[in-house]
Amino acid sequence: MRWKLFWSALWATAVTLTMVSVADAAGQSAARPSEFILIVQIVLLIAVGRGLGEVMQRIGQPSVIGELLAGLLLGPSLFGWVWPQAQSLIFPNNPEQKALIDGLAQFGILLLLLLTGMETDLKLVRKVGRAAMTISVAGIVVPFLCGFALGQFLPESLLPHPEARLVASLFLGTALSISSVKIVAVVVREMNFMRRNVGQIIIATAVIDDTIGWIIIAIIFSLASRGTLDFASLAQAVLGTLAFLAVSFTIGRRLVFQLIRLANDHLVSSAAVITVILLLMGVMAMITHLIGVHTVLGAFVAGILVGESPILTKQIDERLRGLITSLFMPVFFGLAGLSANLTVLKDPQLLALTVALILIASIGKFGGAFVGGALGGLTKRESLALASGMNARGSTEVIIATIGLSMGVLSQNLFSMIVTMAILTTMAMPPMLRAALARLPPSKDEKARLEREELEEKGFVANLERLLLAVDESANARFASTVAGLLAGGRGLPITVLHIGAQAKMQQDKRDEDGSHESAVKNAAKVAANADEEKARDIDVTTRARESKDAGEAVVEEARKGFDLLVVGIDKVLGDKGEFDKKVNDVTSGFEGPLAMVTGKGRQLAQPANNDLRILVPVSGSGVSRRGAEVAIALARASSTPLHVVYVSTTRDKGARRRHHPHMGLPQDELILKDIVSFASTYDVPVTTAIHSDVSPDVAIVAEARGVRSDLIVMGVDRIAGDTLNFGSVAAAVLRHSKVSVLLVSSGEARQPE
């Protein structure tokens, strides 16, 4: 398969060359800018770059290596050497023609830094910050000093401006010292080590490396643009950078969040959020340019803020990422490869200097990271794995070298040497890291955490991104707010509180008061966050209001903004005949996603903000009951009492009661309970269990809740297709006969009645 891709890329190259030859024969001139030539360049770089990138991924290398190799193959290193006339026709030296593709590549740099920033996990950095900072500083200082010293002894023939040796040495030191967080993250992720302790330290260290690197580059750019070491100008650049970062991560953070929310919630275009993100990137890049540092810093910081936005959905993230990786990455890295001419390595002196550059870069980075790991408290094996991972340069060094080349600080030969170093160190990193990580089995605690996270990836609660809470002014609505806050708090999910009662506007005006629904959400969220310190964060609460007669329309209108769960808390849930009230039907009829219907009774109506819940959850082995168990566990984490799980048989389990598993030797009911208990134990939630297989499920549930003195029943239910809201006969019976509160959680897809 990989060779098919390779030959396909070569075939695309041959076809394009034929097209260019025909165009040239028809009399088209290369002396002026040509849109046709620009399109040919882009098509070639994408076709060959993505094709070779796919090949690289299939042999265990990052795709960026294929994109760099595509540029080398299409540039003077191979294509220009074999067929110089055709190469100069497609990639002419005409400044006006080069400016067209260079402009696209320069914008690509900003987008790549935006993407890098979006992948930067500041929470991870904070978690392992002490060790990561120690490792990063040691891993930067040692190779930086080595690269700077090498720059001081380089022959003048390698420097475009020998009088500016200081700036060239600074660029070289930076290029040798900064690891590529993108390459490191790709390899660690592909090896399933992203959540391992050492994997997190590697990623956090690479993030700090990248952050420090772009700040250094921004300062060096300011120095290079002035030509001399002006301490006043340097101080201005440093202070400007610090001020920019301080404002960005305080006022700027809130502003970015609000702009993304406004675009998502109020603009009808499907690409509105992506447009706002690109505008934010451009504005912040221009701000950094105006304060005298490079635009890449603005794009990088913009990416960090965008990545932390609480309502950045996976769909938006994937669409933006797809645009960057499919178009701008192959063009930029391909163009970087085009700028490198490896034929200069035929010169023994340049070849020797390139080998020395690679050795200094590798030994300096490896040694610095290893020492930093030891100082940071890592074992020798962990330090070895860390040092192996941090030796990858890849995309970061190519961007740094490209900036240096465009500024006239680096010569063409020195640029080619740095690109060669970046490619070879990046290709060497994956096998080295795999070998080092393979010798690091997880500890007992780490293994338990990994198992929990693996379960989370497949779960319902772990994949929620945004909640919609529809409430009136009743006590049941206040209890629903508490439930929604407990669900959202541990994961920091944003919530929109939609007031739909007769006093909706008044309730909205009271959102900042202690007795409001919003305060109930925030207080419950704090309780849940304290129970899960690893994921604790402030949640984002937005308020909307619509009078009760427009409740259904209001929910539909809000739902278009993207919500994963609708939590409903209304005063009157059931009608006189036991069916759902008309208002409940109106509110839920237009929402096609999962529902959480809250029916408060007893203590929860008297004390709706009470977070201490004694929860019972019935399970039967079905997917919907498993979903209910997940929600119950999420709620129980904030409570000090055990979760009570009762197995009940349903019509779906007919003939399966007490049936033995052919391999495990346990009855089905015991296997199901064991699975739920195991899942709850990963969150340190204590569980008690019971089995009722000889009575109807609704009778068993109500009786068990009374027997163990539960005050909340959480049930996973199917939504039955029909004109009115229907969760089946069991759920209806429990709602009618239960003396305690009930939370029904349904899936998004309606099931046909049996």
pLDDT bracket for residue 229 (50, 70, 90): low
Supply the pLDDT for residue 401. 81
Instruction: Give 467's strand partners.
Output: 495, 565
Supply the pLDDT for residue 165. 84
Instruction: Give 566's strand partners.
Output: 468, 595
Is the pLDDT assigned to residue 41 strictly greater than 70?
yes
Q: What is the pLDDT of residues 48-78, one digit of tens each?
A: 888 888 888 788 777 777 887 888 888 887 8
Supply the pLDDT for residue 129. 67
pLDDT bracket for residue 234 (50, 70, 90): low
Supply the pLDDT for residue 533. 46
Ranking 6-10, 132-136, 489-493 by mean pLDDT, the lowest is 6-10
Is the pLDDT assigned to residue 138 strictly greater than 70?
yes
Radius of gyration of the chain (CA): 30
CATH topology of domain 120-257+306-328+344-437: Na+/H+ antiporter like fold (1.20.1530)
Amino acid at 239: L
Supply the pLDDT for residue 750. 61
> DSSP 3-state helix, strand, coil percentages of the chain (rounded to 5)?
65, 10, 25
Q: Which helix (H) or strand (E) holds 147?
A: helix 129-152
Mean pLDDT (the chain, rounded) = 79
Supply the pLDDT for residue 617. 93
Ranking 67-81, 188-202, 271-285, 485-499 by mean pLDDT, the lowest is 188-202
pLDDT bracket for residue 653 (50, 70, 90): very low
Residue keyed to tokens 């959400």: 521
Amino acid at 336: A
Cβ atoms within 10 Å of 92's Cβ, excluding its own? 17
Gap between the Cα atoms of 280 and 261, Å rounded: 13
Supply the pLDDT for residue 270. 64
Is the pLDDT assigned to residue 681 strictly greater than 60?
yes
Q: Token pair of 47, please? A: 């076709």
Q: Are 96 and 32 in contact (CB under 8 A)?
A: yes
Give which of 571, 597, 598 is closest to 502, Cα–Cα.
571
Backbone angles phi, psi at 407, to 5 degrees: -85, -10
Q: Burial of 194 by CB count in 10 Å (0-12 exposed, 13-18 middle, 19+ buried)?
A: middle
Residue extents of the structural domains in the chain: 120-257+306-328+344-437, 447-593, 612-754
Q: What is the CATH number of domain 447-593?
A: 3.40.50
Supply the pLDDT for residue 357. 87
Q: What is the CATH number of domain 612-754?
A: 3.40.50.620
Gap between the Cα atoms of 386 and 203, Å rounded: 9
pLDDT bracket for residue 195 (50, 70, 90): low
Could you give the 3-state DSSP secondary structure of residue 719?
Answer: strand
Length of the chain: 754
Q: What is the pLDDT of residues 285-329, one digit of tens each?
A: 899 888 766 677 788 889 889 888 877 766 777 778 888 888 888
Supply the pLDDT for residue 655. 41
Give which of 750, 725, 752 is closest to 578, Cα–Cα.
725
Is the pLDDT assigned to residue 258 strictly greater than 70?
yes
Is the pLDDT assigned to residue 120 strictly greater than 50?
yes
Does 612-754 match 447-593 at the fold level?
Answer: yes
Is the pLDDT assigned to residue 735 strictly greater than 70?
yes
Is the pLDDT assigned to residue 742 strictly greater than 90?
yes
Q: Token pair of 707, please? A: 């027997």
Is the pLDDT assigned to residue 250 strictly greater than 80?
yes
Instruction: Give 646's strand partners.
Output: 618, 690
